[in-house]
Amino acid sequence: MASSVSGAEEVPVSALTPLKLVGLVCIFLALCLDVGAVLSPAWVTADDQYHLSLWESCWKLAASATWRCSSTLGTDWQIATLALLLGGAFLILLSFLVALVSVCIRSRRRFYRPVAVMLFAAVVLQACCLVLYPIKFIETISLRIYHEFNWGYGLAWGATIFSFGGAILYCLNPKNYEDYY
């Protein structure tokens, strides 16, 4: 912890501003949510008879108790969805590592802009993924039963929202705020 002299007393200066600390927490949460979204078996479900993830599609016939699964990586839109989500997750991971390194070496200001740019790029990639997925799903897959977008899809939206929040926090001008901390 560094200190600055103000008159005759020493005033401690924080190594990390609260805004950037909250931004770092947002990036970490986004990363965790992205991992959950990628690994989730339930992006779309339908009445306990159908499950669709980013990796496979599983269905159960009404008369049977066994599930049949097939890979979803056979269609272009599902590959594009996965690529966009993984690309965004990679940028979030990279921005988290850069933000963490900037905290550890106490050279914060020069890393703020690259972290914010990577997070905004991740938000764009993931928003494209999350808009593409339901449009192409509804266009190509005809389920005659009620279906819903489930928690895996919701986790991906959560990761996108936390990434956007982290990007905004890293965009705030540190010169205007760090002097107060």
60 part of a folded domain: no
- Residues with Cβ within 8 Å of residue 92, at least 6 apart in sequence: 27, 30, 31, 34, 118, 119, 122, 159, 163
pLDDT at 36: 95
- Residues of the chain with confidence (pLDDT) below 70: 1-16, 106-108, 142-145, 173-181
Domain that residue 110 falls in:
18-41+75-175
Q: How far apart are CA 58 and CA 95, in angstroms?
A: 35
65 part of a folded domain: no
112 part of a folded domain: yes
pLDDT at 16: 61
Domain with residue 109: its CATH number is 1.20.140.150
4 part of a folded domain: no
